[in-house]
A and B are shown apart, each in its own frame.
Chain A
Amino acid sequence: MSGCDSIGIYSIETERLTKRFVLDRGLLDQVRNPGKRDVITTLDGVNLKVQEGEVLGLLGPNGAGKSTLIKILCTLILPSEGNAYVGGFDVVKEGQKVRSCIGFITTDERSFYWRLSGRENLQFFATLQNLPQSIARDRVEELLDVVRLKNRADEPFLNYSAGMKQRMAIARGLLNDPAVLFMDEPTRSLDPGAAKSLRDFIKEHIVEEKGKTVFISTHQLDEAEQLCDRVAILDEGRIKADSSPADLKSRLPAGGSLCDVFTFFTGKDFSEENSSSSPFSMPGSGRRRRGLGMGMKRKGF
């Protein structure tokens, strides 16, 4: 059902993947400097390989380029340079084939129709996944059962709690039984209890039971440690480290937590305080700092 017939050694592969965005400029600035272009480099030569059935955690602060990378792999954004393949398909040239074999789980609860029921939402998106009605109906029932929302499926989506909405997002991401599942900060809007429950669900049902290739972006270190076989630390658009959590920790001179690993590879401090703007804070004068604090390099042309 996944449509990823051409899947090879790697479910996901990127080669020198780079993304630059041209910044919007004010009218006055455009008149004063007509030839100037402000460019932000969000991804800078990213090389990544994810094997089939592997769970890769993309760890980085806000603005590190995590969402941009996921959106390129989901064909929502085109890269500026380099190549990316998902399920063996080129994300630029074979976008439709890529979309046939992926599931995308976003934290944006607005991505559902709030006035439709949970079941109606899933049936609608199942049709967009090219599932014939008879198959779609069974699939939706099966997934409602999996995410434990069967008894609330006919209620309007707007009645659901944040945790239920997130489980609906997971059900939607699994509609086409994707070979590769992308999750963009899946527990971002949840309280600690709901977040733990969701992590357990992902671990048991998606990773252990279904054996999916999962690409999960997060800035929750415990989440990365609990769910991922491998962690790639993305900072300022570059992969700073890429290995298993245990291996990364073993590289520290005196051992330590994943938090220390992050600091070791990026020169930045990880704050355990759950600040809503950013869980990362810049350390004092003794530490290195690169870029503009948004994980991006800026060039003026």
Chain B
Amino acid sequence: MLFEKAFWFIKRGYLLQMSYKFDFLLRLFFMLFNILTYYFIAKMMGDAAAQYLEPYGGDYFSFVLIGMAFSGYLMISLRSFSESVRDEQMMGTLEAMLVTPTRTSSIIALSSLWSFIFASFRVLIYLLVGVILGVDMSRANIGGALLILILTIICFSSIGILSASFIMVFKKGDPINMLLMGTSELFGGVLFPIEVFPDWLQSISHILPITYSVNGMRHALLQGYSLAELAPDILTLVLFSLALLPLSLFIFDRAVMKVKAEGGLVQY
């Protein structure tokens, strides 16, 4: 039954997305613009940042492409759960879904499926365009990359569920989203290596899951690291997931009970 539900949530997302075709095309178009911008920045930089990029293969365009592609999962995970709650509240469909026997947590999780599929499609486009523009992924450890991807999604989604709990209770103004969006892009090693920071700032990077996610992904895709070599990043992501997933589910459950008691489940 779960697969049938997942299928229908994905179909609903696809049909709604395709009913706004122009928006879909615009998103793809500006994504290409983004990639080209960094391609020419990398061309201009040449070997100027070689000392920092050495552990990642030495090429800035390859570095930033992987960072941008996979940081998209963080953005989607942070936003999609809370946005799906808010979108359904605003569209007026949340109440109709919540009177069915499907659990509230399942509804929120399944509502986000299409966003993850769309994010994966974006990652594929990023990687495809990257390869066309000369990014070398011939040594990629696909299995290792997929494992890191799964852990990344679990870990980031847990933070996204925490974020949705805030939205459910406070409707607007989610501190987790605001805090992590800003800090992850700056300190997470998305656009430049964290080694650029002084040591005391690097300690901030080390408490952010995205640091391990993009680091592991770069090593798996660009340098073909084995699972043993990827183990430090993988284990850290496992620890983050083990801590964050039960915590986020518990807090989400409490948030649902609170808004049910207050009668604000479908208010926005």
Contacts and interface: CB of A to CB of B under 8 A. Distances in A.
Contacts of B96: 104, 106, 111-112, 125, 172
B182 interface: no
A133 B7 CA distance: 10
Contacts of B101: 3, 96-97, 99-100, 128-130, 176
B91 A113 contact: yes
B91 A76 contact: no
Interface string A207-245: 000000000000000000000000000000000000000
Interface stretch (A116-124, A191-199, A247-255, A257-265): A116-124
Given A22-B262, A68-B263, A111 B1 contact: no
A78 to B, nearest CB: 5
A133 B263 CA distance: 33
B138 interface: no
Interface centre among A76, A129, A172 (most CB of B within 10 A): A76
Nearest to B12: A124
A88 to B, nearest CB: 16
Given A127-B8, A133-B4, A104 B260 contact: no
A115 B12 CA distance: 10
Contact of B5 (A3, A22, A96, A128): A128
A35 interface: no
A203 interface: no
A69 to B, nearest CB: 12
Nearest to A22: B262
Contacts of A106: 95-96
B261 interface: yes
A106 B98 CA distance: 13
Contacts of B102: 128-130
A132 B5 CA distance: 9
A19 B260 CA distance: 11
Interface residues of B, number: 30
Contacts of B92: 108, 110-111
B2 to A, nearest CB: 10
Nearest to B16: A115
User: Interface on chain A toward B: helix, strand, loop, or mixed SS?
Assistant: mixed
B18 to A, nearest CB: 9
Given A71-B263, A130-B101, A115 B93 contact: no
A108 B99 CA distance: 14
A75 interface: yes
Contacts of A115: 15-16, 19
B105 to A, nearest CB: 12
Given A21-B263, A113-B93, A116-B16, A74 B1 contact: no
Q: Which of A75, A77, A97 has the most CB of B within 10 A?
A: A77
Interface residues of A, number: 38
B221 interface: no
Contacts of A80: 261
Contacts of A183: none
B265 A77 contact: yes
B100 A76 contact: no
B66 interface: no
Contacts of B261: 77-78, 80
Contacts of B8: 123-124, 127
Nearest to B266: A76
B97 to A, nearest CB: 6
Interface in A175-202: 176
B5 A127 contact: yes
Interface string B255-268: 00100111101100
Nearest to B92: A110
Contacts of B266: 76
A216 B99 CA distance: 16
B97 A78 contact: no
Contacts of A100: 101
Contacts of A130: 1, 100-102
A171 interface: no
Most chain B beta-carbon neighbours within 10 Å: one of A21, A124, A172: A124
A124 B97 CA distance: 10
Nearest to B6: A127
B103 interface: yes
A82 to B, nearest CB: 14
Contact of A102 (B5, B7, B99, B103): B99
CB-based closest 4 A-B pairs = A110-B92, A128-B100, A111-B96, A115-B19
